Amino acid sequence: MRPALPLTLALLALAACGPCGQTAVPLAGAPAERAPTPSPPEGARFGDPDLPGVDRVDPALEARLRAAFQAMPEDKRPRTPHHRPDGAPRYVNRLLLTHSPYLLQHALNPVNWMPWGEEAFARAQATGRPIFLSVGYSTCHWCHVMARESFEDPEVAAYINAHFVPVKVDREARPDVDAVYMSAVQAFSGRGGWPMTVLLTPDGEPFFGGTYFPPHGRAGRPGLLELLEQAVQLYQADPARVQARAKALVDAVRRAARPAPGDGLPAPEILHRSAAHFAARFDPVYGGFGRAPKFPRPAALDFLLRYAAHTKDPEARRMVIETLEHLSRGGIHDQVGGGFHRYSVTRDWNLPHFEKMLYDNALLVSVYLAAYRASGREDFAAVARTTLGYLEREMRDAGGAYYAATDADSPTPEGREEEGRFFTWTPEEIEAVLGTEAARVVIACYGIGDHGPVDGRSVLALRRPLSDCASEVGLGTEAARQRLEAAKARLYAARAKRPPPHRDEKILLGWNALAASAFAQAGLTLEAPHFVQRAEEIVRFLDTRLRDGSGRPLHAWHEGHASGPAYLDDLAYLTAARLDLYEATGQVGHLEAAIALQADLDHGYWDATDGGYFLTPSGADSPLARTKPFYDGALPSGNAVAAQNLLRLHTLTQDRRYRERAEALLSALAPKMGPATPALLSAAMWIYGQPKEVAIVGAGAPAPQLERTVAEAPVPERVLVVAGAQPPPALLARVPWLERKGPGRAGATAYVCEAGRCELPTSDPAVLRRQLLRLAPLFPTPPPPLEPAARP
């Protein structure tokens, strides 16, 4: 239940604006006149940079900031529209001394930004001013819009500086801060997004929240300046009431952060009910779920693939296959350079929001590989390869890790920033690169028109079957495919000459762990050692660069500066990556690293009272509450991945403590499990589906064929141990059930076991595949088939 809020704030509603929000109703009843600038208490005056509306300029701080700016390489300096006559930036603030790419984007704002930390809260408490908290990330389109409209505006900045302590947070660097205050914004308004705008008491308690606001009122909607003026009036007129309401909102946040635990494992029927939920919302025309905007939802697709494997339900399989088909053909898939954009503005996947995120691409690779194993379709394998190729070409750091994201906006030839400019085309541009004949094929097949949807420009997308457009241009289907592949290479070379979108070059532990999993899985599934090497490069970087002096993992790295601590997602994803690398390489060191990481999670993050893992480690400075994430968003929840890791470790090591911890976790979160938690549902299948233990023991001719059989089989819950002719003592210590298994007379031998029962040992790949595909039922009695979504 939402807490009651002051009338002037409770009447504020938010309307969706893409991933952001926008005010819809003004603060009713608040005075319209501008609030007076408060005088700070005696002794509470602080020195600041030379910015509009500040109380007192500190020349030493100003000189330090300007010296830091001059010391930056020119290509790393933030951009600003405000300059002095000598060309130097007119304004500079404390964010210039940080290492976050997002915070540095705002370092030349006229807003007197401070980074999140003790200094900002000490100032708020000393002055009695509320905190203006702005949370975003460096590749967020609407964050850029709000920055241009409001944070670069000296009038808006002067008001913020005079009445608030402005604090800027990079949500990717501080997911704990983002999670807590996003929960408050959602409790307050019913929706969320970025940029996130929150007003806090000096103690950090939220009393107002929203997302994107224009600087001034427009079309009957209030602007940021008007809202801030009204909030200041309310804060000054009745601070005790604001404080009481803030505490009520904090109580709601804390209740959401600590959901009431369940008293047992979820019933397996939740799997069928959730699959039926997805079937009811499936788009039978374009795939995916719902209408627009549409996100790929890899965790949901992974769950449905697992459900289909166990139940043989054709509708569950169809939802995944058709969604992946439409994704690969759509504009959300970069047809020229590979990789996927973040989401689609339209139902048909053809008009993307042009950000590219490392995690989206890593997770989609994993889903395409799983679909390839389930279907044998080479086009799905090709999408996985080209997506990893995009990451290697455009997102790889020289040290072997991968950058976070690229922006939706990119420069025009005139220097303006426009969304999607780098990725879009006109017919004239296509013809200039390819010539008339080759351009005719591309324009026909990819739907390039004279009046495209992105400022008159078009996104390349296969809007109809290739055979149709091939026939239109007088070619066979295969000839058209070859022409398009050749044309895309030339278009890629031409596109590379355009000004590229901004790239956020920070290295995040968790996102890189997802990439390591994708590369390791691809290496095993596609028999591509090069991809396995890439995965090992990632974990080597993480082990050497993202560790503190005591060897503890850290969350982020940027230009030589590591920061932390690691969050639940970081360690859960890295544990999974180590397990994937163990299966891809057979090197027991990866298994031992996974065991050590799981021990770190159990020691520092486990909720000993209610079960489940907290986002932050014990002792961390968590604002308001230690949250316990369990819902899946663009990323699978850390608790869900941890549950799967525990059950994989139990299957490998037979250590009962891993299963007991996994059951405690799933029992604690059982009341929340359903369609919003598909990754937790996938974890539950490890319990109800009886995972397979697969060992290949011995050397000789059958060994590679047996390994290939296991790698390509669509078995959703299984572990693989490749022991060789002489299993090393370290492996036998970790996987004791290997001791009773040896090679047969034909050489290398495969053993398939589940629930304490083993199939007959075999050296025949065909027999092995049949054994692998005999999956245990999920339900005591088979559920009814899913109802297909009706076509309009």
Secondary structure (3-state) at 698? coil
Positions of E strands within 550-641 = 556-558, 561-563
On the question of pLDDT at 162 being above 60, the answer is yes
On the question of pLDDT at 594 being above 90, the answer is yes
Higher-confidence position of 333 and 564: 333
Q: Read off the pLDDT of each residue in 360-385 and give the average, rounded to a whole number.
A: 99
Name the region of 535 (left: φ>0; alpha: ψ -120 to 50; beta: rest): alpha
On the question of pLDDT at 7 being above 50, the answer is no
What pLDDT shows up at residue 4? 34
What pLDDT shows up at residue 41? 55
What pLDDT shows up at residue 743? 87
On the question of pLDDT at 596 being above 50, the answer is yes
**Residues found in the chain:** 792
Q: With the CA atoms of 145, 148, 150 and 153 taken in that order, what torsion angle do they form, in degrees rounded to the nearest 10?
A: -170
What pLDDT shows up at residue 621? 86
CB-based contacts of 83: which residues, under 8 Å, 6+ apart? 89, 90
Averaged confidence pLDDT in the chain? 93
Q: Read off the pLDDT of each residue in 90-97 and give the average, rounded to a whole number.
A: 98
Q: How confident is the model at residue 36 (pLDDT cuts 50, 70, 90)?
A: low
In degrees and rounded to multiples of 5, residue 762 shows phi and psi of: -145, 150
Q: How confident is the model at residue 289 (pLDDT cuts 50, 70, 90)?
A: very high
- Which tokens is 22 given? 């926008």
What pLDDT shows up at residue 374? 98
What pLDDT shows up at residue 26? 31
**Cα-Cα end-to-end distance for the chain:** 37
- Which tokens is 64 given? 């330090």
On the question of pLDDT at 457 being above 60, the answer is yes
Segment 623-669, tens digit of pLDDT: 999 999 999 999 999 999 999 999 999 999 999 999 999 999 999 99
Higher-confidence position of 65 and 790: 65
What pLDDT shows up at residue 740? 84
Q: Read off the pLDDT of each residue in 393-412 and give the average, rounded to a whole number.
A: 97
On the question of pLDDT at 336 being above 90, the answer is yes
What pLDDT shows up at residue 23? 33
Q: How confident is the model at residue 188 (pLDDT cuts 50, 70, 90)?
A: confident
- Which tokens is 638 given? 């850390």
Residue with tokens 């309009």: 792
CA–CA distance, 236 with 240 (Å, rounded to integer): 9
On the question of pLDDT at 220 being above 60, the answer is yes
- The HSE-up count of residue 629 (CA atoms within 13 Å, CB side) is 26
On the question of pLDDT at 30 being above 70, the answer is no
On the question of pLDDT at 9 being above 70, the answer is no
Strand partners, 563: 556
In degrees and rounded to multiples of 5, residue 35 shows phi and psi of: -70, 140
CA–CA distance, 569 with 640 (Å, rounded to integer): 10
What pLDDT shows up at residue 48? 93
On the question of pLDDT at 99 being above 50, the answer is yes
% residues pLDDT > 70 (the chain): 94
Higher-confidence position of 552 and 27: 552
Segment 339-357, tens digit of pLDDT: 999 999 999 999 999 999 9
Lowest mean pLDDT among 56-70, 235-249, 417-431: 235-249
On the question of pLDDT at 537 being above 70, the answer is yes
What is the 3 state secondary structure string of 179-215? HHHHHHHHHHHCCCCCCEEEEECCCCCEEEEECCCCC
What pLDDT shows up at residue 39? 53
On the question of pLDDT at 20 being above 60, the answer is no
What pLDDT shows up at residue 245? 86
Q: Read off the pLDDT of each residue in 302-313 and give the average, rounded to a whole number.
A: 98
On the question of pLDDT at 21 being above 50, the answer is no
Q: How confident is the model at residue 701 (pLDDT cuts 50, 70, 90)?
A: confident
Lowest mean pLDDT among 49-53, 463-467, 497-501: 463-467
Q: How many CB atoms lie within 10 A of CB 258?
A: 16
Domains and CATH numbers, the chain: 7-30+47-257 (3.40.30.10), 288-381+394-504 (no CATH), 692-776 (no CATH)
On the question of pLDDT at 3 being above 90, the answer is no
